[in-house]
Amino acid sequence: MPRTAMAAVHDGDGGVLKIREVTVADPGPGEVLVRLGASGVCGSDRHVIDGEWTLPTPTVLGHEGAGVVEAVGAGVTDVAPGDNVILSWCYPCRRCRACAAGKAWACTGTRSGECLLPDGTTRLSDENGVVYPYLAVGTMSEYTVVPESAAVRVPAEVPFDVASLIGCSIATGVGAVVNNARVPAGASAAVVGCGGVGLAVVMGLTLAGAYPIIAVDTAEEKLAAARSFGATHTVRADKEPVATVVEEITGGGADYAFEVIGRVETIETLPSLLAPGGVGVLVGLPPEGARAGIDVLELAEAGKTLIGSNYGGAVPSLDFPRLAGLYLAGRLPLDSLISHRIRLDEVNDAFDAMRAGTRTRSVIVFE
């Protein structure tokens, strides 16, 4: 039977989410009803709230979540009621050329970007009509209905708050290192921006055996966190010439550099951090329509490469369980990444803190 849920709803009328009730319908064929245990508070949600990305409204925000399967629709075989699952904000269709090539993150058959289920509808509504789940998951809600391929089973030993981060920031940050850049052991690396995803990049570099690992930020608190996750050197970008310091530490520039903020200004400086033949990885997502100016001649003559990283090149059905296993084995200290565990009605404060750069990661924990 349909049920009601409290959710954080973006109405498109300013930078404050409304905490209000929505109706969640039963799952249809190929769909899964999930009771959320936790939802991360991510920068992509802030882009929507601040009007930098355009979406249909009203929208239940949140795309980084984990919970328990409550019910499944006809034909679902991947998960069953009672399973703990991590939600993937890019549900793969499993039929297009990208999916066949093992590039689920590049799926051309998904409608997640439209905030729609595969049949072009949603299972959320209110007294005024349709409500859209952000990226087809809408995790800032007590319940949600997602496509079968968006619900990935993981061991129950992984706490919901940790599992939720695997669904976006960890898959994105660690994946940028191991899937996109494929950083070898001993390679030097710089990470520009040490929020939740930037710290996940640092974890990935530590896992890969990179050295040195140089973390760059303007907040001492975030640089201290980076050191705790394996950064060997830190640079205060507001007090030191970043490119000069990176060159001195590495003896000529980093083999790999990751931009994890999504600011045009830092994207434009990324090539200056690289050694000849180095690889720059664009992880941070800028506002719609942003354009960066790059010295193409310098890039070409030095044989430097810039690559884009979407969702860390993740295949959720494979990467989520792997990351969960690494956490359980003590190889990824994800508990320490969470600086604040909050209630749903504290989500606007979490976004204010994000704008001020005063937290590493906030996670909504549901009762």
As annotated, the active-site residues are 42, 44, 47, 63, 168
**Secondary structure (3-state) at 335:** helix
User: CB under 8 Å to 270, separation ≥6 — which residues?
Assistant: 192, 257, 259, 280, 282, 306
Place of tokens 């890039």: 299
Supply φ then ψ for residue 256, to 5 degrees: -135, 140
Strands (E), 50-108: 59-60, 65-72, 84-87
Give the tokens for residue 236: 């205060």
CA distance 258 to 101: 25
Strand pairing class (189-192; 254-259): parallel
Contact predicate 86/167, CB 8 Å: yes
User: Angle between the 196-208 and 220-228 helix axes, to the nearest 10 degrees?
Assistant: 30
Query: What b/e readout covers 110-147, taking b as 16+ CB neighbours within 10 angstroms?
Result: bbbeebbbbeeebbbebeeeebbbbbbbbbbbbbbbbb
d(CA 54, CA 196): 23
The number of beta carbons lying within 10 Å of the beta carbon of residue 295 is: 12
